[in-house]
Structure 1
C-alpha cells in the first residue's frame, strides 16, 4: 500500500484491521491516543470532543461526497458526517400514482338445483356486468384490497466490503 493520509478511508476486502488502520464502524476512540486523527476529523462522527471522538460508521451505509453550500439546481446539499436514507420503505396511497384495476368476469351457466351459494340450474345464464348501477354494495370478497402496506426493500444491488480509516501516515496539507 502507498503511504496513506491520516484519516484516509479505503475499501478493504479482508475481515481484519490492518496495522495502523481501523474499521469505519463508529468506534469511540480516546483523543489522547489518536491526536493526529482527531485533528483531521474532530467530532464530525461523534464523541465528546474532550476525551473521545468517533470514527465514521460505514456499516450498512453508502458514502456520498459532501456538497458545497449552494449546490446547483437538482443537487441536494449534503454535509460531511450527516446520515440519511432507509433500508426499507412502506409506501402510502399518496405515493402511488393514480391507476385502476380491471375487473375480470365471465358469463356462466348454472348447474345446481339448490340456490344456496350457487347458480341456478341450466336454464339461467348469469353475466358479470350490468347495464345499470347495482343497488346493493359489493361483497368485500368481490372487491378485495390490492397491496397491503408492507415495507419493501429499498436497496440497490450490493457487494459487502469493509471500509478502513488510516490512523497514521502523511498529514494532509490544506494548501
Structure 2
C-alpha cells in the first residue's frame, strides 16, 4: 500500500529524508511545489498564503528515540472520506 498524502510516519533513521516525504520540523515551503499536501493542511501549521508559503508540523523532540524522525508525505494516494 502506498502512503497517503498528508500521512505522518516515524522513520528509524535521521541520515536522509526519503523521496516523497518532508521532515516534520516546522519548515516553510512554497505551496506551489507541494500542492496536494497544501490542499490538505493549508496554513494550519504556519506560513502565509499571501507569500505562497505553508509550514509542515513541527514534531521535533516528539520522537521516541533521537535516532528517529517524523516525516509527512507529499505524494501518494489521496485520502477519501468514507
TM-score, length-scaled by structure 1 = 0.43
In the TM superposition, structure 1's runs of 4+ consecutive aligned residues that sit over 6 Å from their partners are none
Larger radius of gyration: 1
Q: Does 1:55 align with 2:42?
A: no
Q: Report the counterpart of residue 22 of structure 1 in structure 2.
A: 22
Q: In angstroms, what is the RMSD of aligned CA positions? A: 1.4
Separation in structure 2 between the aligned mates of residue 14 and residue 41 of structure 1, nearest angstrom:
25
Q: Does 1:35 align with 2:35?
A: yes
More helix by share: 2
Q: Report the counterpart of residue 70 of structure 2 in structure 1.
A: 163
Gaps spanning 5+ residues in structure 1: where? 63-157
Gaps spanning 5+ residues in structure 2: where? none
Number of aligned residue pairs: 79
Separation in structure 2 between the aligned mates of residue 4 and residue 56 of structure 1, nearest angstrom:
17
